[in-house]
Structure 1
Amino acid sequence: MSAAIVLLLYTTVAAAYLPRLGRRAADWADRAPRLAIALWQAAAVSVVASAALAGLAFAVPAEVVGHGLAGLFEACAAMLSNGSGLTSAGVAALLAAAAVLARVAYCGAIVLLRAGAERRKHAAMLGLLGRRDGELGAMVIDYDERLAYCLPGRHAQMVITTGALRTLTPEQVAAVLDHERAHLRGRHHLVLAAGEALARAFPGVPLFQQARTEIARLIELLADDVAARRHPRAQIAAALVRLATGRVPGFTLGAGGETALARVHRMLHPEAPLGRRERLTGLVGVAVLLMGPAMVALVPGLSSFLAHHCHSLLTL
């Protein structure tokens, strides 16, 4: 019971207040976008896991675990077959935990299926309206608006318009396409889909809403950093300025967009990367967020297990 209460308290507090900590660490996040993405993901997963584990911890008494794995399986089998050992409150807790997980799975499936359908339609349109440029490794569309984006998924490809090609220098074009290539290689669309699924599953929860926004922003920073390994930052910044007003389809990933101007400043005025100690602190934070709920749920059972078996050994 105590574990369930702790998990529920953590779920409530973390869902409401972790976004505030994330906003305070925005400068830190910009210096290590990959690590920051992992932290936002871990925070979201920890809240969902805590909510589900709270129901399980409430329904399965700690003393059941204390009799060992075989005893736990027997008790769970009895609960599933005839409901023995389950109170009405325990049944409600299990149903609530199952509902949380089912909601996440349902929304995740909806997000992926809808995005997949839109991308297939767009890929078919590109096949009719675009032409493949082997030298660029991208699909070129005859369109005056300056756009550069990638279409992820099964029909993955990079797209650039003739308007962008007329505006950008060859070096800037190469930098922009490397930015888009980073999105495709990193499968960033799946990261975005996970954030979108949680935000849709639980609308109004501050953590999930903020995580979706921040992860989308940080993914663009990460792709910029990958492109900066091969191209001068000034070239990337100049390309971003020229692509800033372009609006790409919502189911794609584009180099321009609303965050472009802020990213220009970041490219032109880079901050020092995180030190080893700071990165280690971030990794520890990811581990704590991911493992913490499971540890809280397991502690009462493990304590009961040790007490039961130590008592058995002492009586021999």
Structure 2
Amino acid sequence: MTAAVILVVYAVVAVVSLPRLLKRGEWAERAPRLAISVWLAACVSVIASVPLSALAAVIPADVIGHGLAEFFEVCAAMLSVEADLGFSGAGVALSGAALVVARVAYCGAAVLVRARRERRRHADMLTILGRHDGELGATVLDHDEAAAYCLPGRGGRTVITTAALRSLADEEVAAVLAHEQAHLRGRHHLVLTVTEAFARAFPRLPLFTRAKGEVARLIELLADDIAARRHRRIHIASALVRLATGRAPAFALGAGGETALTRVRRMLNPAAPLGRRERLAGLAAVVLLLAGPVTVAVEPGLRSFLAHHCHSISIF
């Protein structure tokens, strides 16, 4: 029961406090990939704590030490009593945990289905109105607004408008298309789907709301960094300035947008990357967030298991 209480308290505190902790300093801008991992781990950690707390509350730790056979016998007996007496605390706990998991799964499926439907419609439109440019490796769309974006999914493609081609130099076009190709190769749309599903499932909880916006921002920074490996930062920055007002479809990933001007400053004045110790600390935070709730949940049973078998061995 103690483990269940710890997990519940952790989930409640983490939902409020983790967004504040993760937003401190400028470390995320210096290592966007690591920052994305930390935000995702934080969300998964809180979600996992709910079903784990229910299991820790329902399953007695002492029966685990006597082996799987007795463990399953006790579980069957508990279920039989629950069926005879109706819902008790254990039934409520398990039902609540199942609802949380089902809510996240439903919202994730809804986001995926809606995005796939919208992308399919847009892909059909591009087939009719766009033309593939083999030299650019992108679809050119006749439009009077300068924009560049990618359409993720199966057969994903990069798109650039004729207005963008007229306003950008060749080096800038290559840089911005590299940015969009980084989104496609990294399957960044799937990461955004996860955070959107969490935010949609629990819209008023600070951690999931903040994670959605932060991960979307960090993914753009990550794509900028990948493009900067092959193209000069000045070309990426100048392209972002020209595309800052360009609007991409809501279900696509665009090079411009609200964060463009902030990213321009980052491209022109890059901060030093994280040191080895800082990166190790970030990786340790990811491991702690993911493994911590599991460790708390299984520790009583593991301790009981070891105590029982060590006692059995000492007798012989």
Q: Which band: TM-score by shorter chain?
A: over 0.9
Find the aligned partners of 1:262 and 1:104 in 2 and give their Cα distance.
32
C-alpha contact 1:123 1:155 (8 A) present in aligned 2: no
C-alpha contact 1:78 1:84 (8 A) present in aligned 2: no
Correspondence for 2:59:
60
> What does 1:231-242 correspond to in 2, within 5 Å?
231-242=231-242
For structure 1, list consecutive stretches of 5 or more residues without a partner in the other structure.
Answer: none
- What is the CA distance between 1:77 and its match in structure 2? 4.7
What TM-score results when the alignment is normalised by the length of structure 2? 0.96
Per mean C-alpha deviation after superposition, the further-off stretch among 114-123 and 55-64 is: 55-64
Correspondence for 1:70:
69
- What is the CA distance between 1:244 and its match in structure 2? 0.2
Deviations 1:262-281 (A, max 9, x none): 00000000011011111011
Q: Which amino acid aligns with 1:56?
A: L
1:159 aligns with 2:159: yes
Correspondence for 1:28:
27
- What is the CA distance between 1:314 and its match in structure 2? 3.2
Q: Which amino acid aligns with 2:106?
A: Y
> What does 1:117-136 correspond to in 2, within 5 Å?
117-136=117-136
- What is the CA distance between 1:85 and its match in structure 2? 11
Length, aligned pairs only: 315
What TM-score results when the alignment is normalised by the length of structure 1? 0.96
Find the aligned partners of 1:46 and 1:38 in 2 and give their Cα distance.
12
Find the aligned partners of 2:302 and 2:178 in 1 and give their Cα distance.
50
Q: Which amino acid aligns with 1:298?
A: V
- What is the CA distance between 1:309 and its match in structure 2? 1.9
Find the aligned partners of 1:275 and 1:72 in 2 and give their Cα distance.
48
Sequence identity, in percent?
Answer: 66
- Name the SS for the 1:140 alignment partner: strand
For structure 2, list consecutive stretches of 5 or more residues without a partner in the other structure.
Answer: none
Change (3 A) 1:77 1:186: farther
Find the aligned partners of 2:259 and 2:14 in 1 and give their Cα distance.
27
- Name the SS for the 2:23 alignment partner: helix
Correspondence for 1:43:
42
C-alpha contact 1:132 1:139 (8 A) present in aligned 2: yes
Correspondence for 2:289:
289
C-alpha contact 1:79 1:85 (8 A) present in aligned 2: no
C-alpha contact 1:66 1:304 (8 A) present in aligned 2: yes
- What is the CA distance between 1:304 and its match in structure 2? 1.2
Find the aligned partners of 1:79 and 1:243 in 2 and give their Cα distance.
62
> What does 1:101-140 correspond to in 2, within 5 Å?
101-140=101-140
Q: Which amino acid aligns with 1:296?
A: V
Find the aligned partners of 1:243 and 1:79 in 2 and give their Cα distance.
62
Change (3 A) 1:312 1:250: same
Correspondence for 2:221:
221
C-alpha contact 2:133 2:139 (8 A) present in aligned 1: yes
- Name the SS for the 1:132 alignment partner: strand
- What is the CA distance between 1:76 and its match in structure 2? 3.6
Find the aligned partners of 1:130 and 1:36 in 2 and give their Cα distance.
36
